[in-house]
Every structure is written in C-alpha cells, then in structure tokens.
Amino acid sequence: MSDYDFRSLSPVDFEHLTRDILNADLGLTLQSYAAGRDQGIDLRQVGSDGTIVVGQCKHYLESSWSTFLRAVRKEAAKGKELHADRYLFVTSRPLTPRQQDTIAEELAGVPAAHDDVWGREALNAALGRHPAVERRHLKLWLWSSAMLDQVVRAGRWQRSDATLEDARDQARLWVHTHVYDQVQDVLEREGVCIVSGPPGTGKTFLAEMSLLSAVTRDGWEVIHLSGDIEDGWDALSSDQTRQFFYFNDFLGETELTVASKNEPTNLERFIKRIKHLRRHKRFIMTTREQILGEAAASAYDPLHRVVANTSQIGVRIGEYSARAKAEMLFNHLYFSGVTEAERARLAIDNRIISVVEHPAYNPRLIQLAIEKSQRLSAEEILETIGWTLDQPHEVWDTSFRSLPATGQQILLSLASLPFRPWPLAVIRPLTGSAGSLDWKRTLRVLEPTWLRITGKPAGRYAVLANPGCRDYLLGMLDDTAVAEDQVDRIRMLAQILSLSRSAGLLSEMPASVRRPELAHALVSRRGRLAEQVRGFADAGRPADSGRVDMKTLQDAAALFGVYGGEGDTDWLMDEIASTLTPAPQARPADLFLLAERLSALPASVQERRAALAERLVLAGISAAATTRDLDAYEALPEQLRTSGSRAAARQLAKDAIAAEVDYLLRTAGEPEAVRGAAADLEQRARWYGLEADIGPLLDRADDLSAAADATSVHSEAERQPSDSDGDSGPADIAELFSRLTE
C-alpha cells in the first residue's frame, strides 16, 4: 500500500488529488471550484436526480489537534447551509478510529457518515487501488524514496544528474497549466519541442518538469546538452532505449549565439533524426522569445531553417491567467518556511491581490523576492515583492553591492565562465585567497538568491541561480574598471572563450560588439591573452601523448583570430602537424572546423598553412562515415574543397548515402520522416553528381503508413486536469490565500 504523508502538496494540490481519488474510488463525478465560489465548497457533484454530494478537503499537516477541530466545527456550521445529500470530509492528517468518530460527531447536522470521514490511511489505501490516479499527480510521488533513486540514476552525465535533482527540489512550487499539456502533446506528436517565452516566465522549469515526469513515470534516460549538439549525437543510441535530450537556452543564454558555423545544420539534422525515432526519443529545447525572433529573422539560412517550423514544434509561454499567477504565489509562500502566524497575516492582507494583478508579475521575481526576505514576516515579504516587481534591476544591484568582496568575486568568476554547473574546487582558485571559514560563510550568503549548489560534499557544483543573475553580472562586466580587473584575473582557457563570446568578439554570424567596454579590455591585452592561450594549452597536455587535444586546438584557433599574430599561428601549425602524425582520433566535423579556422589566420608561410588545412580536410574525410559528416564538409569554404578533397568526398557521399538508406530501411520510424529523409538524400546525391535509388525508402514509408492505419488505436494519454487556467476575480484570489493557514 502507498504510504504518502502528502507534505509535497499544497492545499490546492491536495484538493485536486482528493477529487480524483474520490471519483475513482466511489464512482463519483465531483468537480473542483475556484476558491471563493459556491459558498466555499471544495468539491461538488449534482446528480441527474438532483441529489448533491459535497466534499471538503483539509490539509492541516502542522496544526495541533485542537486547532484542527476548530476548523472542523467551522466546516460543520457552513455545511448545514449547503443542503447536501451526502457530505465527504477528507484530511491529510493520520486519523485513529477514535479521532474519526470525534470528527463525525463534530459534523453532526450534516449528512456525513462515519465512513465518509477520510484520513491519510484511507487516502493511501485508495491510491493503492487506483494507480492511474497516483501516476497523474507528479508532485505526489516525486518525493518518495523510490522516485529519488530513479531520478538520481536517470542522468547520463553529472550535469544531467544535477539538473534532475535541482528540478525535484523545486517541484513543490509547480503549478500545472495548459502550457504543460501543450508541450506534452507536441513531444508525443513530433518528438521535439521548442519552449519559448520572455525571461523569467518558467521555460526552464516547465522543460525540467517534463523531464522529471518522463523519468519517474516511464524510466527515460536524460541527456542534458550544453553548448554543442555533437554531445547529443555521441549519446544517441540506435536501439529502443528511451532517451530524453534537453538543451536549455539552445540559441544562447542572453543573446543569439552559434557555437560553430556548422552547428545549425547539425542541429537541424539532429531534430530530424529525433522526429524519425520519436517513439523512443525526445528532444526539448528552451529559448527566450526575443532570441528566437532574431534567429527567425536571420539571413543565415541553416539557422533560419531550424526555427522556421516553430508552428509545428514550438510552444510559447505567454501571459498566465490570474488563477495560475495566484497559485504560483500561493505555492511560493506556502513552502517558504513562513510560520503559521505569519501565514495567517498573509491570508488576510489584500495586498496579495495587487501582487497577482501587478503588470510586471513574473515567477522568477516572485521567487527572488521571497528568498530575499530574511525574517520571512508577512510585512517584509509583501514589501519586498512589491519593490522587486516595481524595480527588478535595482533588486540585483542592491543585493550585489551588499555582498562581501569574496561573494562578489565568486559571482563575477562564474559570469566569466559558460552558464552551467562548475565544481566548487574549480571556482575557488579563481576568487582569490579567501580562508575556509570565509569561503563557506560566503557560499551560505549567496545561496539560494545567487547560487544553486548541488552534489555531494566530496564533489559539489555551483551554478548561477538563473539567467537573470547572469544578465546582471554581464552588465557589470561591461564597465572598464570591472572588465580590466576580471580580465587580469583570468586563470582558465574557458574564461577567455566565454568572455570573448559575451563581448561579441567570437561569433560565427555577423554581429556588432555586444559589450564594448569588455571588448576593449580584452583586445587591449591581446598579446598577453594569446600567450595565456598557449600556456593553458601546454599545461593541459595529457602525459601519455604530450599532444594538445583537438578541442583546445579549435579554441586556440578561434581566439588567435581575435588576439593572435603570425607567431601564434606558427605555434598552432606545429601543434596541428604533431596531431596529424599519426592520423588523429577526432570527429570529422572537428577536423573540418579546425581547417577553416586555421585558413583564416595570419601566417608567415602561407603555403604551409594551406597545406596543413588540406591535410586536416583529407583526414576528416578519411574519418567520416555518415551523412552528418558530409554536412560539415559541405559547409567548408570553397577554397578548402580542393580537387583532391572533392574526389574523396564524392566516394564518401556514395558510401554514406547507401548506409543511411540501409539504416532507414531497418528502423521502424515514422512514415513522413522517412519520406523527408528520402528527399534529402536524393538532393544530396545530386550535389555530388550521384544518383540515389530512393524507391525502396518510399515503399518503406508506404508500408509504415499502412501498418499504422491497421493498428491505429485512439487513446488519450493520462493527463492531470489543468485547474489553473480559469479566470479568477479578487474575491476568488482572496479566498484562495485564506487557505495558507491549512
């Protein structure tokens, strides 16, 4: 039998769960009502013969028995006026038989039988009889020990584990809206979904709740991508393993960013592959709507194509209903640690309504304001929320300037790195010489407003709490004095790369400098930065081979394009020559990208540069095997596709197209995806002067269509009813917050 204590549920969540349990176990059709309507009734059913069944839900977990009984007497007085034919009373408290009798006696005067008083034990017994109800309520079972183990095991990499654990910690704040259902529908229909919306509206939270649901319900494996879709290709299995890929801010965290020239084409092909395998693969991406708009308007065709079909695979988070806003605020307050006395004050304060109706209402700002309320008093919380919504930028500025110097440096160091979790052991050397006590004390000050810290004591990770933090910190870095200080503090190659991208100095697309003062601080130190690049590369040589790895060579080539001179190119060419003997164990796309970057650098001996670039291209073709590798070759500039490489690429294309046809014939994909792939292969073959026999693929698509028609079963996926999208007026909102005392 289930053994839930229901502490992960708010009173509103508990009401929705109770409705579903009673309907399933008693064969009823009880409906929930917006707070404030129908005389405070939680649940009601009106039968065809006019009989009325009423259900009242009391989620009094922390209250004393005497306080709880006072609430029961209040319900009894109200219940006498409802003229119900049957009255059901449900509480999340554990009840002894004697307590059940006492409640029934207190309800004298309303039609409540002894067995119509339900406590924790009865609810758990009913959940055992109706597992479908249990599965629908994610926030209920996500906190069981079995689900915790499943979440911990589901991540492919450490960053996936950290993502899932953080999402689970935040899940109590979740409010189910119709947008979540839209995302699930798109994922089931297309296999791929792009979630967009303004900053702070919950895009990441929505995506991660989708991950949690897939992990805990059906055992999907999660692969959290960061910065490079190649990681997705490396992790993608060709079998029926259920894999859920997640790419947060896939177009850039704060502005449109493309990791490499070939990235959009590679992403486009990955999306097509996931759609082909959508029965057991999923891919969810998030982006700010402003950045999505920039990508859609881009003249860069590969990028434009990636976002062009958002009408099919896109879901936008827009304005939330008043009811949804109220429930989000309610959950943040209910689970914030506010005392019962302060919750009682909040429950009757009409300023709550003005918060919900504030034109700048934003879930992220609500969370930030509550986290900043040190005393957690009703007065302080409401004042802080109001001030935060009125002046969101001032909130970050005031908080940052009040931090100790060590705290400020920790944050600026994280802002100088890519936006992802970083080991604390990596961050600490970047921040100066803080003692152990000062370091630990400062981390406590920064969490949770500025930082999220995850992992076990032996391997803890820190990440900026949200993109809003990074937005502010990058603005701080675009100040000459701050920028010069931080550039002088650089201790990692990743910092040079990240700061250069944030300044707008590294981009595969035409772009103006984004942060001019940061850019000036970097460019004015070009000689020293180029020297540091070489030094970091030398320090990172593995002991066994002594050769700089391919990724570092790529990064060095990109940075030398901004900060380097002929001497730096000579160093790079020496390292490349060493890497090419013997043949490198590298991905073809990496070799092609390095060739392109090398060819654009200044060189004292241009013939040597051209010869090395051609060797890199030929090495890439020799290592290539798939049509995805062909994408990277086809993206090369014309001058790098020499006559020798074109002949080798033509043979590669012939073999890769045949292999792709064979793969598509063997896998049970979707008919339309097979037809689309056939058309792509035919077009690619023509590009190389080849002919592709796509007839078998078209026949395969027809067979798949016929099989799907023959076995089609119309079924509705289980959906927890979305109770948060209806409209609510001030009276309804006030009644909702009166439940803070439960």
Give pLDDT tens digits for 630-674: 888 988 999 999 888 999 999 999 999 998 888 888 876 778 888
* Pick from 644, 647, 657, 648: nearest CA to 686: 657
| Residue 428 counted as domain residue | no
- Beta bridge partners of residue 246, listed in sequence order: 224, 284
721 or 182, higher pLDDT? 182
> Is residue 211 predicted with pLDDT exceeding 50?
yes
In three-state form (DSSP H/G/I as H, E/B as E, the rest C), the secondary structure along 404-425 is: CHHHHHHHHHHHCCCCCCEEHH
Euclidean distance between CA atoms 252 and 294, whole angstroms: 11
In the predicted model, is pLDDT for residue 122 greater than 90? Answer: yes
One domain, residues 272 and 196: yes
Number of domains in the chain: 4
Query: How far apart are alpha carbons 708 and 724 in whole angstroms?
Result: 36
**Shared-domain flag, residues 238 and 148:** yes
Q: Is residue 556 part of a domain?
A: no
| Phi, psi torsion values for 175, nearest 5 degrees | -125, 125
**Domain range spanning residue 666?**
642-707
**Which has more pLDDT, 141 or 407?**
407
Residue 502: inside a domain: no
Q: Three-class SS of residue 660?
A: helix
> How crowded is the C-beta side of 582, counted as CA atoms within 13 Å?
3
- Please indicate, yes or no, if residue 546 is contained in any of the structural domains: no
pLDDT of the residue at 513 = 66
**Out of 157-171, 198-212, 275-289, 432-446, least confident range:** 157-171
Q: Which residue has the tokens 């989620």?
A: 59
Q: Is the pLDDT of residue 200 over 80?
A: yes
Can you say whether the dihedral through the CA atoms of 650, 651, 653, 654 is positive or negative?
positive
Q: How far is CA 77 from CA 64, 107, 119, 170, 353, in A?
A: 20, 8, 21, 38, 28
At residue 677's C-alpha, the angle toward residues 252 and 182, to 5°, is 50
Are 182 and 210 in contact by the 8 Å Cβ rule? The answer is: no
Distances (CA, A) of 536 to 186, 417, 533, 704: 44, 15, 5, 53
- Whether 424 maps to a domain, the answer reads no
**Do 162 and 311 reside in the same domain of the chain?**
yes
63-67, 156-160, 523-527, 662-666: least confidently modelled range: 156-160
Look at residue 627 and give its three-state secondary structure: helix
Q: Is residue 44 domain-shared with residue 106, that is, in the same domain? A: yes
Answer for the pair 557, 594: CB distance below 8 angstroms, yes or no: yes
Query: H-helix or E-strand containing 303?
Result: helix 301-308
Cβ-based neighbours of 289, under 8 Å, separated by 6 or more: 196, 197, 198, 316
Residues in the chain: 742
| Separation CA 649–CA 662 (nearest Å) | 20
DSSP letters for 665-727: HHS---HHHHHHHHHHHHHHHHHTT-----HHHHHHHHHHHHHHHHT----PPP-----S-S-
CA distance 666 to 660: 10
Q: Which residue has the higher pLDDT, 135 or 494?
A: 494
- Kindly report the average pLDDT of the chain as a whole number: 87
- Whether residues 119 and 19 share a domain: the answer is yes
* Residue 31 token pair: 């409906």
Partners of residue 46 on adjacent β-strands: 52
Tens of pLDDT, residues 13-68: 999 999 999 999 999 999 987 554 445 678 999 998 999 999 999 988 777 888 88
- Residue bearing the bigger pLDDT, 562 or 238: 562
Report residue 344 as tokens: 């009682």
Residues 279 and 328 in one domain: no
Q: Are residues 251 and 157 in the same domain?
A: yes
CA 179, 185, 190 angle in degrees (round to 5)? 125
Strands 451-454 and 281-288 turn out to be unpaired
Looking at the structure, tell me whether residues 287 and 353 fall in a common domain. no
Domain boundary among 373, 390, 407: 390
**List of residues 6+ apart from 715 with CB closer than 8 A:** none
User: Same domain, yes or no, for 161 and 302?
Assistant: yes
CA distance 610 to 606: 6
DSSP-derived letter for residue 319 is: P
Query: Is there a domain that residue 492 lies in?
Result: no
The pLDDT of residue 591: 94
Residue 450 lies in a domain: no
CB 71 within 8 A of CB 340: no
Mean per-residue pLDDT, 677-697: 91
**DSSP letter (8 states) at residue 200:** T
What CATH number does the domain containing 172 carry? 3.40.50.300
Q: Is residue 545 scored above 80 in pLDDT?
A: no
The confidence band for 715, taking pLDDT boundaries of 50, 70 and 90, is very low
- pLDDT over 60 at 398, yes or no: yes
The CATH number covering residue 71 comes to 3.40.1350.10
pLDDT the model gives residue 36? 47
Q: Which residues of 60-96 are buried (b: 16+ CB within 10 A; e: fewer)?
A: bbebeeeebbebbeebbeebeebebebbbbbbbbebe
Residue 133 predicted with pLDDT over 50: yes
Quote the pLDDT of residue 130: 93
Strand order in the sheet with 52-58: 31-32, 43-46, 52-58, 86-91, 117-118
Nearest C-alpha neighbor of 505 from the set 572, 571, 558: 558
Last residue of a domain, one of 297, 316, 335: 316
- One-letter amino acid for residue 606 of the chain: Q
Q: Tokens in use for 505?
A: 């100095």
pLDDT-based confidence at 718, cuts 50/70/90? very low
- In the three-class reduction of DSSP (H, G, I as helix; E, B as strand; rest coil), residue 37 is classed as coil
Task: Report the C-alpha gap between 58 and 39 in whole angstroms.
Answer: 16
Look at residue 160 in the predicted model and tell me its pLDDT: 66
Greatest Cα pair distance in the chain: 99
Tell me the three state secondary structure of residue 286.
strand
Distance of alpha carbon 389 from its chain centroid, rounded? 24
The pLDDT tens digits for 550-574 are 999 999 999 999 999 999 999 999 9
**54, 43 contact by CB (below 8 A):** yes
Q: What does the pLDDT read at residue 713?
A: 42
Same domain? 30 vs 154: no
Is the pLDDT at 319 greater than 90, yes or no? Answer: no
- Boundary of a domain, candidates 390, 411, 428: 390
Cross-sheet strand order for the sheet of 221-225 = 221-225, 243-247, 281-288, 192-197, 314-316
Residues 529, 523: Cα–Cα separation, whole Å: 9
Higher pLDDT pick, 189 / 36: 189
Between CA 31 and CA 175 the distance in angstroms is 18
Q: For residue 510, what pLDDT band results from cuts at 50, 70 and 90?
A: low
Residue 243: inside a domain: yes
Number of H helices, E strands in the chain: 38, 13
Same domain assignment for residues 76 and 193: no
State the pairing for strand pair 451-454/461-464: antiparallel
Which pLDDT score is estimated for 123?
95
127 and 146 together in one domain: no
